[in-house]
Amino acid sequence: MAQSRPMRADARRNYDRLLAAATEAFAEQGENASLDDIAKRAGVGSGTLYRHFPTRLALLEAAYVDRIEALGARADELAEELPPGEALTEWLYELGVATIRMRGMKALLGSAVADGSSAALTACGTAMKGAAARLVEAAQAEGTLRADLEPVELLRLGHGVTTASELANGQGRELRRYLTLLTEGLRPAG
Amino acid sequence: MAQSRPMRADARRNYDRLLAAATEAFAEQGENASLDDIAKRAGVGSGTLYRHFPTRLALLEAAYVDRIEALGARADELAEELPPGEALTEWLYELGVATIRMRGMKALLGSAVADGSSAALTACGTAMKGAAARLVEAAQAEGTLRADLEPVELLRLGHGVTTASELANGQGRELRRYLTLLTEGLRPAG
DNA sequence: ACCTGAACACCGTTCAAGT
DNA sequence: ACCTGAACACCGTTCAAGT
């Protein structure tokens, strides 16, 4: 979905600067980084930020859409390297790690898999849901994943487990363990 | 841990009004309800709010400590009524429902089970951890819960699953299902 | 068509003055 | 000892004026 008309040169330049500034700011300060500060970093009036990115979520999406699409592609790589069940857990792990590392991404991924997920988030949402669907289907065919699990449920639970691991430790050192608890269940190992 | 000296009458009255106003505001607007608005509702200067509750979390804790202790007591009720494994899942469910219904409570419970949980949150933290510990121990003795699960891990995962169910639907209608997925695991039912 | 930045409404926090 | 509310620094958002 490219721009129907190319942007004016100054607009294009401001757009790029804003994106760079935003990526920096989100990485440093998380999803709530000051928008005004981002505009200042980009050397741009605050109104210009709003013109290009009417909502904070729009800016977050623009800042992370590449990474997210890379994560989608990563799912397919893993599917080739590993048996379906393992590919799925490994992907959830890498997804969680990315969510924790790139501090602004959590809100974005959350919104993308939320119920009324904003129509504007189609890019991230469909990338994630598509990747999840392929992994889920393969694992179900293999018989290592509950047949009644919806891809979006997997994403939401992954998000929740990541949240849980952040409670344990800002860096999510417990992420692997918590994912294991999810996949194996809380009942005794049998 | 009662006050060593009783509060002056006007201070006591302001304290109570602030708490009532805060409970209202948190219920309506969630954990980020405006503190200034809370002070205004209570008919009190904003400085007075800060005198009694130096941080937002302190106010949240004060507003919800009763409910949280009730949830702790509820754990023991359930332990008498149900077999340990069921008592545990049911408690997690009720905990999740409360977290979702009382909009301000989520942040509080989250902080209470977080790693560096603020020393000020001892009341909520110990109530939750104590209740969880009793349920976990019983279920482990019964053999329906993994022996290596720490009570605080249960609380964190419960928090995470609640988050997941909020993504599915603001009201958490999927909470029961998501808890089942956690307890049974993502592998096929055997 | 796009940009700027002042203006507005809001919020959290502090603190001098008051009782 | 406690309360008040003005003052400060900050933030998001809009919009008239400019190019």
Q: Which residues lie near nucleic chain D, judged by CB under 7 A?
A: A 32, 34-37, 46-47, 50, 55-56; B 7-8, 10-11, 14-15, 43-48, 51-52
- Residues near A123 by beta carbon (within 8 Å), at least 6 away in sequence: A61, A65, A68, A69
Q: Quote the pTM value.
A: 0.93
D19 C1' to A39 CA distance, Å: 20
Q: What percent of chain B has pLDDT over 70?
A: 95
A130-184 pLDDT, tens digit each: 999 999 999 999 999 999 999 999 999 999 999 999 999 878 789 999 999 999 9
- Residue ranges of domains in chain A: 1-54, 57-185
Q: Which structure tokens are listed for B132?
A: 């969880």
Residues of A with CB under 8 A from a CB of B: 110, 113-115, 143-147, 149, 152-154, 156-157, 159-165, 167-170, 174, 178, 181-190
Tens-digit pLDDT profile for residues A9-62: 899 999 999 999 999 999 999 999 999 999 999 999 999 999 999 999 999 999
Q: What is the 3-state secondary structure (H, E, C) of chain B?
A: CCCCCCCCHHHHHHHHHHHHHHHHHHHHHCCCCCHHHHHHHCCCCHHHHHHHCCCHHHHHHHHHHHHHHHHHHHHHHHHHHCCHHHHHHHHHHHHHHHHHHCCCHHHHHHHHHCCCCCHHHHHHHHHHHHHHHHHHHHHHHHCCCCCCCCHHHHHHHHHHHHHHHHHHCCCCCCHHHHHHHHHHCCCCCC
Nucleotide nearest to A45 (CA to C1'): C4
Distance CA B3, CA B12 (A): 11
* Nearest CB neighbour to A160, from listed B163, B170, B186: B163
Question: Hey, are the CB atoms on A186 and B188 less than 8 Å from each other?
Answer: no
A57-185 domain in CATH 1.10.1060.10? no
What's the pLDDT at A2? 45
CATH topology of domain B1-54: Arc Repressor Mutant, subunit A (1.10.10)
| Interatomic distance B44 CA / D6 C1' (Å) | 15
Nucleotide nearest to A49 (CA to C1'): C3
Q: How far is A129 from chain B (nearest CA, A)?
A: 14
**Two tokens, residue A69:** 């699409």
User: Is B184's CB within 8 Å of A183's CB?
Assistant: no
Q: What pLDDT, on the 0 to 100 scale, is given for residue B1?
A: 46
User: With bands split at pLDDT 50, 70 and 90, how would you rate the model's confidence at A120?
Assistant: low
What mean pLDDT comes out for the span A107-123? Answer: 81
Residue A27, C-beta contacts closer than 8 angstroms, at least 6 positions apart:
A102, A103, A104
